[in-house]
Copies of this chain bind each other. A is one copy, B any other.
Amino acid sequence: MTETAQQYTIAVIPGDGIGKEVTPWAQRALEKATEGVAAFDYENFDLGAERYLRDGEILPDEDLERIKGTDAILLGAVGDPRIKAGILERGLLLKLRFALDQYVNLRPSKLYPGVTSPLANPGEIDFVVVREGTEGLYCGAGGAIRRGTEHEVATEVSINTAYGVERVVRYAFELAMKRRKHVTLVHKKNVLVNAGDMWQNIVNKVGEEYPEVTHDYCHIDAATIYMVTEPSRFDVILTDNLFGDILTDEAGAVVGGVGYSASGCINASNEYPSMFEPIHGSAPDIAGKGIANPTAAILSAAMLLRHLGFDDAAARIDAAVELDIAENGSTPRSTDEVGRDILARL
């Protein structure tokens, strides 16, 4: 660390399973890519399934407060089949996204040369999904009456606000300006007319401020078709929380597996730290074997650096990953081998 190096505090949540194995490589990539220009202090947080199984804690208030004081968050993966679906998701992952107002869920999809897509003719795939992260069906609004009886009624409420939609729409148009200048709104406005109209109207309004950016619209069902038949048509996909969840997993599959995809949960107004993570899960089936691929975690480090303003360092990581994949393709390597191979190119 030189005198001019900027100092950052990163909250590290390795989480469970392979999360713990890949996260150190994200940290090493962070450091190597910014040698001399940035220095990182890490605050480790023991959060996730293991912690919960051990002492019943999911996200203690004091941890959340400490996380709020950091500059950014690196997350590995969270989850364990022994825990009922929803507990960690809502108590930890979504709680962080909501408490830190991470309203842009940024998910690039790129088919790297050397990676085999399940599509026969994938074409050039390089798009980014801008998924809203703090509204829609993810609010936790809803409930159930007469639980477990034949008269049970369960509801889920999607809440959407002009405030929440406009800020993510604006982010998508700004991003499109740096890319191929094309935004595709994905929704289901022919059925979800209340939310759909609001999204479309705001896209139309904000779109007027970006005359160079073209925008079109695609129903979520049609979007899942294009994702398979013509993914190269997409540049920036703009969509709500649930549709974004669905579409980015399909996108991950189409670019050869979620192992090559990273994601950022971004508070674009910088009131709170943003969070970066590989898209893959904790993969209990391969955990502990040292064979998890750290590529997505390393790509999440690049996203973190870009968010902090280190565009060159981020681009170097991306390039190193791209080179590594081009050369080694899908040759089986250990976690450490892949990590070392990528870092060697940095």
Interface residues of A (CB under 8 A from B): 85-86, 89-90, 94, 116-121, 137-138, 142-144, 146, 148-163, 166, 188-198, 201, 220-222, 224-225, 227-229, 242, 245-250, 252-254, 258
Contact = CB atoms under 8 A, between A and B. Distances in A.
Contact of A224 (B120, B196, B249): B249
B162 A150 contact: yes
A116 B228 CA distance: 13
A118 B229 contact: yes
A82 to B, nearest CB: 14
Given A158-B156, A160-B154, A250-B225, A194 B119 contact: no
A169 to B, nearest CB: 12
Contact of A120 (B90, B119, B252): B119
Contact of A228 (B118, B121, B163): B118
Contact of A86 (B94, B189, B253): B189
8 contacts: A86-B196, A144-B194, A144-B198, A154-B194, A155-B159, A156-B160, A158-B158, A188-B245
Nearest to A149: B162
A90 B191 CA distance: 7
Contacts of A157: 155-158
B194 A142 contact: yes
B142 A158 contact: yes
A83 to B, nearest CB: 10
Contacts of A150: 162-163, 166
Given A137-B158, A224-B249, A246-B246, 16 more contacts: A85-B189, A90-B191, A94-B191, A118-B228, A120-B120, A137-B191, A144-B198, A149-B162, A151-B161, A154-B160, A156-B194, A156-B195, A220-B245, A221-B245, A225-B258, A227-B250
B151 A163 contact: yes
A158 to B, nearest CB: 4
A191 B224 contact: no
A89 B161 CA distance: 24
